[in-house]
Amino acid sequence: MALFGKIENLETPGDNIKEDMETEKVKVLIIGSGPAGYTAAIYAARANLSPVMYEGMQPGGQLTTTTEVENFPGYPKGITGPEMMTDLKEQAARFGTDIRFGYASGADFSQRPFKVTVDANKVIEAESVIIATGATAKYLGLEDEQKYAGSGVSACATCDGFFYRGKTVGVVGGGDTAAEEAMYLAGLAEKVYLIVRRDELRASKVMQQRVIDTPNIEILWKHQTLGLFGNGVVEGATLVKNKGEADEKEVKVEMDGFFLAIGHSPNSDIFKDYLNTDDVGYIQTEANTSKTNVEGVFACGDVMDNQYRQAITAAGSGCKAAMDAERFLSEQ
């Protein structure tokens, strides 16, 4: 994940770019970091494309909030998310990537060279652009989510479920994502509470039935989360049942992990005037490539992946993006 600015009421292409802004010409511009961005940088730099990368407001992306990564090949003893991102960053820099702190606040892909505004005060003119801005997990907005980040709160069951083998966890959400996360965790945890705000699931009928048929999943209907409690780590959640009704009551449920499964928001807003996206905002690419509908603009990582959202798949897509960019430039 990397956070990027959003331009409201963009009336004409590039109208956010002022004539007196400083400009710089580059061959390959990489917007965003994380496994996708850094891998793209490694491949682009080794191909002598002299890539310039702007890391975004959260250098390293979502993995910088993950305490332990055990499923990335090459780390048999595991590694923390921040350490892994430091390794990838150093590797990208070793091959000559110009890595900068800054965020993309606007874009004009109407013609080449493409123009990207950085920090609202500089324009990068790029022959090709690789977008690796990631996606942001949606949270409930509770202070406790930040308090226990990495200590019981997670937005990725596939990433962190392993740490809760034989334990009790809660999953918030009622859609397909929540049902899938609950099913995955049910294969690891002793008990899974599915915390559902309404009295029905929004998940597909097939997923609903699978959840209902899984013996160690208990659905807490019409429950909303008020907060979390625990001494340094999550030990339980404070919920309100039947909020706003005559029989409203507060309950405390003991659990070791609290998983958010209410969706992700791809960081693609500043590109939507030019790039095709799905209904949620994920950038659409040609099958088996990183190519967008704009020739010379490529997308990789979670900003275009609404299915897997794993570090390893993001890294692989970053490799694709760099190779696609190199081929594009060599043909010009």
The pLDDT value given to residue 8: 37
Residue 52's H or E segment, with its range, is strand 52-54
Helix axes 81-94, 34-46, angle to 10 degrees: 20
CATH number for 22-136+265-331: choose from 3.40.50.720, 3.50.50.60, 3.10.20.740, 1.20.58.390.
3.50.50.60
Residues of the chain with CATH 3.50.50.60: 22-136+265-331, 139-260
Rounded to whole angstroms, what are the CA distances from 179 to 207, 211, 218, 264?
6, 6, 12, 15
The architecture of the domain spanning 139-260 is: 3-Layer(bba) Sandwich (3.50)
* pLDDT above 90 as % of the chain: 79
The pLDDT value given to residue 307: 86
Where in the sequence numbering do the catalytic residues fall?
156, 159-160
The pLDDT value given to residue 207: 92
Give the integer Cα–Cα distance in Å for 51 and 78.
Answer: 30
Span 239-284, pLDDT tens digits = 999 999 999 999 999 999 999 999 889 999 999 999 999 999 999 9
Q: What is the pTM of this model?
A: 0.78
The pLDDT value given to residue 17: 53
Helix axes 205-213, 176-186, angle to 10 degrees: 30
What tokens does 146 get?
Answer: 């930040």
Q: What's the mean pLDDT in 7-31?
A: 68
Q: What's the mean pLDDT in 213-237?
A: 97
Closest CA to 73 of 312, 326, 321: 312
Span 126-159, pLDDT tens digits = 999 999 999 988 899 999 999 999 899 999 888 8
Query: Whole-number mean pLDDT of the chain?
Result: 91
